[in-house]
């Protein structure tokens, strides 16, 4: 799929105020600093569409971006950032629960995972929560430019092993890098296919 246009629409802390249009929506979620905002910029060929930072906790709101005038990409705040207060953790949990509970437009979530790390409990628990709440998701491994191909394979195998202990199948997954466009076509074509299934594209 070619990206012909990508525009910022709105930031919200209240899910009820998110755009009402019934068009397909895809949400990027994952630990703080995993590269959610950077990946949105890479996919849309716009360096500063979503705000990125070397410091975790940059994205604090639900950000909607309108792509090709007919579907939304959503940049969400990260989880698992140790240095936020208890009250902001609670606020985060509340609006993430509401977001996934209320957005009927959501076709699929993408859970972003830093390819450099061993499987992390916080990510596995979050994915389990999505399963229990009936939210479809795929995994996007980020920062693949930081590892050699062999190390990438080893890390994917570690994920498969741990996931197949609990689930029958490994979720669909993508290997990406926001710095060198690895995985760009795969992710965009996957979304294109899902949009096609929604008969809206
Ligand atoms: P929060 O909004 O804080 O939850 O973070 P985020 O997940 O949106 O991460 P963000 O895109 O802001 O990126 C965090 C840091 O990782 C930045 O310094 C990025 O430049 C860096 N980064 C993101 N993606 C990649 C990548 O694919 N490769 C490399 N090498 N660095 C990356
Ligand atoms: Mg961000």
pLDDT digits (tens, 9 = 90+) for 180-192: 999 999 999 999 9
Place of tokens 């290997």: 175
- 74 and 62 in contact (C-beta within 8 Å)? yes
Could you tell me if residue 20 is inside a domain? Answer: yes
Token couple for 145: 């430019």
72: Cβ contacts below 8 Å, ≥ 6 apart: 9, 19, 21, 23, 24, 25, 26, 64, 65, 66, 105
Cα(110)–Cα(30) distance, integer angstroms = 8
Query: Domain containing 39: what range?
Result: 6-197
Q: Which residues line ligand 1 (CB under 6 A)?
A: 32-38, 52-54, 56-59, 77-78, 142-143, 145-146, 177-179
143 Cα: distance to centroid of ligand 2 (angstroms)? 14
CATH number of 61's domain: 3.40.50.300
- With 50 as the cut, is the pLDDT of residue 201 above it? no
Give the residue, by CA position, lying nearest to ligand 1 atom 5.
Answer: 33
Number of domains in the chain: 1
Could you tell me if residue 130 is inside a domain? Answer: yes
Could you tell me if residue 1 is inside a domain? Answer: no
Could you tell me if residue 23 is inside a domain? Answer: yes
Averaged pLDDT, 26-45: 96
Could you tell me if residue 11 is inside a domain? Answer: yes
Phi/psi for 12 (5° steps) reads: -140, 150
Give the residue, by CA position, lying nearest to ligand 1 atom 16.
Answer: 35
107 Cα: distance to centroid of ligand 2 (angstroms)? 21
- With 90 as the cut, is the pLDDT of residue 28 above it? yes
H-state helical runs in the chain: 36-44, 86-102, 121-132, 149-166, 184-197
108 Cα: distance to centroid of ligand 1 (angstroms)? 21
More confident residue, 82 or 128: 128
Given pLDDT bands bounded at 50, 70 and 90, which one contains residue 82?
low
pLDDT digits (tens, 9 = 90+) for 84-132: 777 777 777 788 889 999 999 999 999 999 999 999 999 999 999 999 9
């Amino acid at each position: 799929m070619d990206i012909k246009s990508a525009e910022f629409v709105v930031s919200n802390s209240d899910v009820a105020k998110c755009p009402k249009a019934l068009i397909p929506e895809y949400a990027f979620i994952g630990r703080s600093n995993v590269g959610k905002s950077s990946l949105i910029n890479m996919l849309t060929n716009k360096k500063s569409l979503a705000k990125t930072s070397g410091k975790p906790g940059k994205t604090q709101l639900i950000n909607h971006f309108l792509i090709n005038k007919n579907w939304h990409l959503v940049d969400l705040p990260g989880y698992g950032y140790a240095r936020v207060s208890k009250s902001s953790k609670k606020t985060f949990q509340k609006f993430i629960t509401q977001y996934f509970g209320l957005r009927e437009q959501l076709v699929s979530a993408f859970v972003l995972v830093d390819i450099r790390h061993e499987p992390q409990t916080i990510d596995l628990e979050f994915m389990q929560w999505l399963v229990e709440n009936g939210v479809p998701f795929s995994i996007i491994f980020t920062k693949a430019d930081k590892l050699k191909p062999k190390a990438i394979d080893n890390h994917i195998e570690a994920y498969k092993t741990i996931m197949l202990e609990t689930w029958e199948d490994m979720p669909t997954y993508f290997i990406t890098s926001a710095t060198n466009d690895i995985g760009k076509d795969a992710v965009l074509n996957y979304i294109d296919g899902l949009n096609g299934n929604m008969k809206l594209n």
